[in-house]
Amino acid sequence: MLKQDYMQVSQDQPIYSEAPLQLLLFVDGRPKSRQQVQRIRAYLRELEAEYSFELQIIDVGQQPYLAEHFKLVATPALVKIHPEPQQTLAGSNIIAQLKSWWPRWQAAAEAFLKLHEDLKELSDENGYVTSPTSTIHSVAVSAELIKLSDEIFDLKQEKEKLQEQLQFKDRIMSMLAHDLRNPLTAASIAMETLQNNYDLEQGKFKTLKPLMAEHLLKQARAQAKIIDRMIADLLQVGRGNDTDLPIIPQRLELSKISLEVLAELGDRCIAKSQKVETDIPNDLPSVYADPERIRQVLVNLLDNAIKYTPNGGIISLSALHRTTQKVQFSIGDNGPGIPLENRDRIFENHFRLERDESKDGYGIGLSLCQRIIRAHYGQIWVDSNPGGGSWFHFTLPVYPS
Write the pLDDT tens digit of every residue in 127-161: 555 554 455 555 555 556 666 767 787 888 888 88
The mean-pLDDT minimum among 36-40, 100-104, 198-202, 385-389 falls in: 385-389
Question: Quick check: bond before 85 cis, omega within 30?
Answer: yes
**354 has a pLDDT exceeding 80:** no
Determine what percent of the chain is predicted with pLDDT higher than 90.
Answer: 25
**383 has a pLDDT exceeding 50:** yes
Query: Do 2-150 and 248-401 come out as alike in CATH topology?
Result: no
Compute the distance between CA of residue 257 and CA of residue 277 in angstroms, rounded to an integer.
16
Does residue 283 come out as left (phi exceeding 0), alpha (psi in the -120 to 50 range) or beta?
Answer: alpha
Q: Which pLDDT score, from 0 to 100, does residue 365 have?
A: 73
Q: Which pLDDT score, from 0 to 100, does residue 9 have?
A: 40
pLDDT band at 278 (very low <50, low <70, confident <90, very high): very high
Q: Which pLDDT score, from 0 to 100, does residue 10 have?
A: 37
Which tops the pLDDT comparison, 309 or 148?
309
Q: Which pLDDT score, from 0 to 100, does residue 234 have?
A: 63
Q: Which H helix or E strand runs over 150?
A: helix 136-179
**17 has a pLDDT exceeding 50:** no
Exposed, middle or buried: residue 189 (CB in 10 Å: 0-12, 13-18, 19+)? middle
Q: What is the mean pLDDT of residues 345-351?
A: 66
The CATH superfamily holding the domain 2-150 is Glutaredoxin (3.40.30.10)
The mean-pLDDT minimum among 115-119, 265-269, 284-288 falls in: 115-119
Which tops the pLDDT comparison, 278 or 6?
278
Exposed, middle or buried: residue 49 (CB in 10 Å: 0-12, 13-18, 19+)? exposed
Q: What is the mean pLDDT of residues 6-15?
A: 38
At residue 346, the 3 state secondary structure works out as helix
Q: Domain spans of the chain?
A: 2-150, 180-243, 248-401
Alpha-carbon distances of 304 from 144, 187, 271, rounded to whole Å = 59, 19, 15
Q: Which pLDDT score, from 0 to 100, does residue 4 have?
A: 40
CATH class given for the domain over 248-401: alpha beta
Q: Which pLDDT score, from 0 to 100, does residue 78 have?
A: 93
Compute the distance between CA of residue 160 and CA of residue 240 in angstroms, rounded to an integer.
17
Q: What is the mean pLDDT of residues 66-83?
A: 85
**121 has a pLDDT exceeding 80:** no
Alpha-carbon distances of 40 from 14, 36, 46, 78, 91, rounded to whole Å = 25, 6, 10, 9, 12
Q: Which pLDDT score, from 0 to 100, does residue 348 have?
A: 72
Per-residue model confidence as pLDDT tens digits over 161-199: 888 777 767 766 776 666 677 778 878 888 888 888 887
Q: Which pLDDT score, from 0 to 100, does residue 243 have?
A: 54
